Structure 1
């Protein structure tokens, strides 16, 4: 969806994620991605959830928790921007979130359930936005971001980590 989103709608850092988004309709794309992702992570053996491919790397459980945390943060950003809240939003440091998430204490089922809940909320949120609302721009991490860019980032972020899990963990 990178071709649809103007470069002034997001920090270029996010182009990697936006380029992986495959569905123009954000809510529809999040729904398709939810189903594919859940099917994939359900197939991962429980004993692999605490596996990290190298020292100081996240476990699969921590990767999933990171996806959930990011889902919530970017959905919140999209809500603020769609409602034309001009208050600048601070960034978040993912490496501070993971050690404080207790992800490795949750079962595979609990994390998948949490992901589904967060994703369902995002789908409902993006369904509620008009085309005009998706174009509203706010500020996050010192850069502009539109509500639709946040939605495409969510699609691509999940795909990015799915690819990382396949390549480095399994």
Structure 2
């Protein structure tokens, strides 16, 4: 299944730019390649830049990385709920509160990358267990219909979006 197989009816328009940030790639390939890209990219960031923010009130590099991890966990959870045909509408989350409580400022790069690696491996394992029928299942999150497969591409596109911002504004 390719990114171009997604219909805009499978996700909230808020996520459209995340999905468009990806090439027309297969979901499982992007989940695996994205893992290696993040690990490689973050490996080049000097430790002293982890707690750097490019402006007052902006997240630090470490906070952005923890936001990627937290958001992936949340989208992974939503995908699991929808995959299991749970019709309970899921509420959103307040990303700024999550970032403030992430303790990113006291974590080492190694700790952040280990957590990321664990979460991404779980995401890869979860999505590998889904067949085409399950990937097309829909649920409701933050008041919008979302498919399981859209959640996977949003995870990938969200990461791509934030790594681009780190590269452009933080380094």
1:28, 1:123 within 8 Å by CA — same for their partners in 2?
no
2:70 equivalent in structure 1: 69
The alpha carbon displacement at 1:83 in A equals: 1.1
- Tell me how large the CA RMSD over aligned residues is: 1.1
* Structure 2 residues not aligned, in runs of 5+: none
The alpha carbon displacement at 1:66 in A equals: 0.1
Instruction: Report the secondary structure of 2:139's partner residue.
Output: strand
1:130 equivalent in structure 2: 131
Q: Deviations over 1:108-148 (max 9, x none)?
A: 00001100000000000000000110000000000000000
Q: Deviations over 1:70-118 (max 9, x none)?
A: 0100011111111111000000111111111111110000001100000
1:59 equivalent in structure 2: 60
- Tell me, in whole angstroms, the C-alpha distance in 2 between the residues paired with 1:87 and 1:118: 24
1:28 equivalent in structure 2: 29
Divergent runs of 4+, >3 A: none
Task: Return the TM-score normalized by structure 2.
Answer: 0.96
2:149 equivalent in structure 1: 148
Structure 1 residues 105 and 23: CA distance shift in structure 2, 3 A: farther
Q: Mapping of 1:108-119 within 5 angstroms?
A: 108-119=109-120
* Structure 1 residues not aligned, in runs of 5+: none
The alpha carbon displacement at 1:24 in A equals: 3.9
Task: Return the TM-score normalized by structure 1.
Answer: 0.97
Instruction: Report the secondary structure of 2:119's partner residue.
Output: helix
How many residue pairs are counted as aligned between the two chains?
170
1:17 equivalent in structure 2: 18
